[in-house]
Structure 1
Amino acid sequence: MKVGFIGLGNVGGKLAGSLIRNGIDVQVHDLNAEFVAGMVAHGAVDGESPAQIMQACDAVITCLPSPAASAAVLEEMLPHVGPGKIWMEMSTTDGDEIKRLAALVSAQGGAAVDCPVSGGCHRADTGNISIYAGCDRATFERVLPILTCMGRRILHVGAVGHPSVLKVMTNYLATANLLTLCEALTVMKAAGLDLGMTYEAIAMSSGTSFVHETESQLILSGARDVNFTMDLVQKDIGLFQKIADQQGVPLEISPLLIEMMNDGQNRYGARAQSDRMIERLEEATGLSVQAPGFPQELVDDEPEELGYEVVVTR
């Protein structure tokens, strides 16, 4: 299959790179010409525009920063959608919006796949990230070879819209974990405990998590650059709150997370890195929550391997 990839930012550029590295015929597009040139240098073709990419490719992937951006790109592609064409949405978006856009694709005779990723930029870079895919089974079988070049664990979760709901749920959990880790590390520092030892104590305990094993390292090294900005966090946890409101679920922690992230954005800027939330506590206490020996950037040290479908236990 010829594959188009639109949106070459922090995550999209790495996913597109995995396709190129695995020998897929890829056409790319981004508003940033330097991102496109970088992909072309590694073997991609400059697709020039969303419309031209949809005309030339069997499947077109979008990985964009907002539901509005995805809608605008799809609008350009839609006249060129027809039988056999597939639109694959890898952005973190609104479940209702992806269903609306997927219906437009279906009306043109094409197929839509809702397939956001989870696992961090460092795993996107090595093809070891996880992917949720929502579409009919026949379409899933068609795109599975593409997905396994970008991710290690591929979960078919049913209909379009379900992956986007699951993705904002996982990002809500990650945000809650980040903020509680900020508090835990600061309290341990205030109590006089060694933070390197504290890191290991958490990692070997019931309190550990993916967020601890990744973002805590960047907090402690002082790098605080996880390639995920506060505005994106706010978008995701806001979408999770919207789902809860629609379903009449009275949440208590979620509104507090939104309030805390609002404060972080007001202090450091909407596009500040999310792990800078630790600095709110550093400022409040006068403490430096850092320790020697931790990395300035995350590197996935697991070897790349071809992905596979995760089978659901029933």
Structure 2
Amino acid sequence: MKTGFIGLGNVGGKLAGSLLRNGIDLRVHDLDPSLVADFVARGAGEGGGPAEMMRACDVVITCLPSPAASAAVMAEMLPEIRPGKIWMEMSTTDADEILRLGALVAQAGGTAVECPVSGGCHRADTGNISIFAGGPRAAVEAAMPLLKHLGRRILHTGDLGTASKLKVMTNYLATVHLVALCEAMTTMKAAGLDLTTTYEAIRISSGTSFVHETESQLILSGSRDVNFTMDLIQKDIGLFQKLADQGGVPLEMSPLLIEIMRDGQRRFGERAQSNRIIERLEQATGLQVLADGFPLVLVDDEPEAEGAEVTRSVSPLAAAE
């Protein structure tokens, strides 16, 4: 399939790189011409604009920073959508907006699939990230050959809109644990504990998580560059809060989390790296939450392999009971 990719930022550039590395006939587009030039130098085609790309390609993938950006790109692509064309939305976006845009694609005769990813930029770079795929079964199967190059674990979540809801839920949970880890590690520092030992204690215990095993390392090394910014965190946890409001769920942690991130933005900048949130506590206590021996950059050391669909519906422990 002739494939177009729009949005070559921190995540999109790595996902598009997986397609190029695996021999996909790829055209690319981004508002930053230097990012496009880099891909062209590596063998991709220059896609022109969104309309030109949709006209020339069988599949167009978007990975953009906001629902507004996706809507603007779709407005350009829509006149070129015909039967047989597929739009794959890999942005983290509003479920209501994906349903609106998906309906426009369907009215034009095309097919829409939402495919947000989870697992961090370092895994997007190696094709080992996880993908939530939302849309009709036939649409997901049509996208599956590309999805297997983009990610390691692919979960069909249900109808269009379900993947976006699950993605903002997972980002909400990741943010909860990031803030909790900041509090835990600062408290251990204040209590006189060695932070390398603290890291290992969390890692081997019931308190661990993917966030700890990745982002805590960047906090402790002082890098604090996770390739994910506070404005994106605010977008995602705000979308999760919107879902809760629509469902009448009286959340307690979510509003506090939003305010903590707002305070971080006021202190460090609107687009500060998300794990700089630790610095609020460093400023309040005068402590430095740092330790030797941790990496400045995350690298995925899991060998790349073709992805597969996740079909297990119960945990191994539950199945054994």
Give the whole-Å Cα distance in 1 for the aligned partners of 2:121 and 2:31. 20
Q: Which residue of 1 aligns with 2:44?
A: 44
Alignment map for 1:45-194 (pairs within 5 Å): 45-194=45-194
**Cα distance in 2 for residues equivalent to 1:7 and 1:42:** 17
TM-score (norm 1): 0.99
1:219, 1:285 → 2: CA distance? 16
- Does residue 204 of structure 1 match 2:204? yes
Q: For 2:188, what is the secondary structure of its paired residue? A: helix
1: CA distance, partners of 2:13 / 2:175 = 23
Structure 1: runs of 5+ lacking an equivalent:
none
Amino acid in the other structure paired with 1:75: A
| Identity %, equivalent residues | 73
Q: CA-to-partner distance for each residue in 1:210-266, whole Å, 9 max, x for gaps?
A: 000000000000000000000000000000000000000000000000010000000
Describe how 1:9-48 pairs up with structure 2 within 5 A. 9-48=9-48
Between the aligned partners of 1:243 and 1:66, the Cα distance in structure 2 is 17
What are the Cα deviations for residues 256-291 of structure 1, in whole angstroms up to 9, with x where unaligned? Answer: 000100000000011000000000000000000000
| Deviation by residue 1:144-176 (Cα, 9 ceiling, x = unmatched) | 010010100001111110000000000000000
Structure 2 residue aligned with 1:299: 299
Deviations 1:92-144 (A, max 9, x none): 00000000000000000000001100000000000000000011111111110
| Structure 1 counterpart of 2:146, one-letter code | I
Deviation >2 Å, runs of 4+: none
Partner secondary structure for residue 176 of structure 2: helix
Give the drift of 1:312. 3.8
- 1:266 paired residue number: 266
Equivalent AA in structure 2 for residue 206 of structure 1: S
| Counterpart residue number, 1:3 | 3
Task: Find the aligned partners of 1:140 and 1:294 in 2 and give their Cα distance.
Answer: 39
CA–CA distance in structure 2, aligned partners of residues 294 and 60 of structure 1? 39
Measured in 2, the distance between the counterparts of 1:243 and 1:135 equals 19
TM-score for both structures, normalised by structure 2: 0.97
One-letter identity of the residue aligned with 1:308? A
1:256 corresponds to: 256
1:148 aligned partner, one-letter code = K
SS of the equivalent of 2:103 reads: helix
